[in-house]
Amino acid sequence: MPVVRIDFPRFSKMVGAEREKIIDRLPYVGLDIESVERNSVRVEYSPNRPDFGTDFGIARAMKGLLGKETGLPKFPAKPSGISVTVDRRLSGVRPFIACATATGLRLDDEDVRQLISLQEDLHNGLGRKRRAVAIGLHDMDAIKPPLSYKAVGPSFRFRPLDSKREVTVVSILKDLPEGRAYRGALSGARVYPVIVDSKGTVLSFPPIINGAATRVTTKTRSMFIDVTSMDGRAGDDVLAIVSTTLAEAGSRLGTVHVKYTDGSRVTPDLAPTKMRADLGLVKSTLGMNLTTKEIISSLRKSRLDVKGGRALVPRYRIDILHPVDIAEEVALGYGFDRLKPDYPASRQPGAFNDFENFLDSASTVMAESGMIEMMTFELTDAPSLYSKFSRPSSERLAVMDPKSIDHSVLRDNLLPTLMASLSGNVKSDYPQRVYEVGRVYGREKGGVSESWQLGCLIAHAQASFSEAKMYVESACRLLSGKEANAHESTHWAFSPGRCAEVSVAGSHLGHVGEVKPESIEAFGLGVPVSGFELNLSKLFELLK
């Protein structure tokens, strides 16, 4: 989750509260405290609240909660006189653009740091790594309006940020780190989007990189903001968050006229959104018989308001989708710590799942036989499953893009992971007798089958077929009340001539045998190993 750093002296001034009070209340705004220092605290915020991406946004919410400033924050915006014309050829590439201006800025280093961090978080979150939405911040004094958002060919050149010379858009995609990181957003495009002013100065090559000419510094007094996107709503959401944050940072907002071929609009639109204020839903969700007055005052503490039976939601609150979200805002404003827990007594008895109980008994039977239970991972490595038993891997069930090849294939049997466990314990006392009750996977009719297995291995100088057979027979007898039968058979884990199929009541359940010496060697073991595998799902079916 994204993180914001809150500096206490700075934040105390913003919200009018001291360090201890701030630390105590941050969780009740919905923020997770990651670490606390003497002069600062780092908090994690959920991606549904991108308006918490700066200390400005957090202060806005905190002031409401502390009752210092409640109700809807106001964001007046005057026309900036700037217009942007959109090239229709961008409709299949990156169709939407929304812009705003912010003037009268006096940014210090910390302000700039907070804004950059917000931009990063928005790019990664709502922006889906800039694929869906990308933001450009520019020094407005370097721009000569009107602007155009237009399509250019691969050989179009300009000087990108942090570059000494002009380069073509294609070489930016190929050679610059930003190009390589984000070019996926433009894959398949035959034209490329750029934002240029009336003199041809390039502001941005979205969503890749800004131009060098309009770079923002602490000296920037007026800012131009562009937000390009694949989806109009997402772009407007992001622009609302960025521009209202700049307003909190002390700037005056200005609107921009965006002209599409088939119509035009003025951005940003920061009018509050409306959501039905369902008082009945509020009361039933919170289990509190709150008065209308209490509900309204709680909503105002959450920086919302109520008008004509509707909740007014500030435009930057993009997470409010349903009247139930209004109920939560009431709870937040009221304070979750003021809600009294109420244990809901059960009117019915509980019930164990029979199969889970059966699996648990299988484990008990084995432990009482003197064995140690292992719990290994279901995702394992292909060599342990296949090559160490010299069997083909054609039926393997692999997961896509695993972070580690040690956990990349679903096991079809417990014997391989148990062998791997033994090989990690060669320094422990022998005899070693281990078992596992675990899930295994197989392919079935174009899909996947899952079942539960009991696996067991015995490793010591005298480990033998008959010892393993003794254990599997006692397990079958104790779990099913029936005698197990053994028939000569073969299995990839066991030596020929030292392997039998185990069945109960005519149903084949698994194999018992002596592990073949090439596998003992492949797992780095130095003692004989015997064991068995038994299908517990099938055994359970037999008992029903």
Partner 1 sequence: MSSSLHPIEQRILKALRETPTMRLEDIVGKTGLQVDQVRRALEWLSTKGYVTLTRSAKSKLEYGGLPPEVKVVQLVEGTPPPIPLSDLRANFGSDQEFSAALGRARSRGWIVTETGPGGLTSVRRGSEDSLSSLKEIRGLLDHVSSNAPISERERELLPDLVNRGFVKAVEQSDVAVAVTSKGLGEVPESGASEALDRLTPEILASGAWKGRSLRPLDVEAKAPVFHPGRRHPVRDFIKEVRETYISMGFTELEGDSIHPGFWNFDALFIPQDHPSRDMQDTFYLEGLADRKLTRTGTVANVAATHENGWKTGSKGWGYTWRIEEARRLVLRTHNTVLSVKALSESREKETRVFAVSKVYRNENLDYKHLAEFHQMDGIIVGEGLNVRHLMGFLTEFYKKLGMSSVKLWPTYFPYTEPSLEVIGFSEAVNAWIELSGSGVFRPEVTIPLGVKVPVLAWGPGIERLMMMRFGLDDMRALYGADLSWLRERRELAGS
Least CB distance from residue 236 to partner 1, whole Å? 11
Strand, coil or helix: what is 110?
helix
Q: How far is CA 477 from CA 433, 484, 504, in A?
A: 19, 7, 9
Please name which of 256, 278, 298 lies closest in space to residue 77, comparing C-alpha atoms: 256
Q: Which is nearer to partner 1, 243 or 417 (CB)?
A: 417
Q: Which is nearer to partner 1, 273 or 485 (CB)?
A: 273
Q: Which is nearer to partner 1, 99 or 330 (CB)?
A: 330
Least CB distance from residue 502 to partner 1, whole Å? 21
Strand, coil or helix: what is 254?
strand
Q: Which is nearer to partner 1, 23 or 189 (CB)?
A: 23
Q: Which residues of 126-155 are buried (b: 16+ CB within 10 A; e: fewer)?
A: bbeebbbbbbbbbbbebbebebbbbbbeee
Euclidean distance between CA atoms 310 and 72, whole angstroms: 13
Q: Which is nearer to partner 1, 32 or 110 (CB)?
A: 32
Euclidean distance between CA atoms 413 and 513, whole angstroms: 15
Structural contact between residues 139 and 214, judged by C-beta atoms closer than 8 angstroms: yes
Least CB distance from residue 70 to partner 1, whole Å? 18
The total number of residues shown for the chain amounts to: 544
Least CB distance from residue 175 to partner 1, whole Å? 26
**Angle between helices 232-248 and 55-65 in degrees, nearest 10:** 80
Q: Which is nearer to partner 1, 169 or 374 (CB)?
A: 374
Least CB distance from residue 62 to partner 1, whole Å? 14
CB neighbourhood size of 29 (10 A):
18
Structural contact between residues 133 and 122, judged by C-beta atoms closer than 8 angstroms: yes
Q: Which is nearer to partner 1, 217 or 348 (CB)?
A: 348
Structural contact between residues 206 and 193, judged by C-beta atoms closer than 8 angstroms: yes
Structural contact between residues 510 and 468, judged by C-beta atoms closer than 8 angstroms: no
8-state DSSP, 378: S
Q: Which is nearer to partner 1, 116 or 398 (CB)?
A: 398
Least CB distance from residue 285 to partner 1, whole Å? 6
Least CB distance from residue 471 to partner 1, whole Å? 11
Least CB distance from residue 205 to partner 1, whole Å? 24
Euclidean distance between CA atoms 197 and 441, whole angstroms: 60
Least CB distance from residue 458 to partner 1, whole Å? 12
Structural contact between residues 483 and 379, judged by C-beta atoms closer than 8 angstroms: no
Please name which of 241, 245, 265 lies closest in space to residue 255, comparing C-alpha atoms: 265
Structural contact between residues 166 and 177, judged by C-beta atoms closer than 8 angstroms: no
Q: Which is nearer to partner 1, 109 or 429 (CB)?
A: 429
Least CB distance from residue 327 to partner 1, whole Å? 7
Least CB distance from residue 278 to partner 1, whole Å? 8
Dihedral in degrees, nearest 10, Cα atoms 33, 35, 41, 47: -40
Residues 6 or more apart from 143 whose CB is under 8 A from it?
197, 201, 203, 214, 224
Q: Which is nearer to partner 1, 25 or 150 (CB)?
A: 25
Q: Which is nearer to partner 1, 89 or 283 (CB)?
A: 283
Strand runs labelled E in 409-493: 409-410, 432-444, 447-459, 484-488
The tokens for 124 are 């990664």
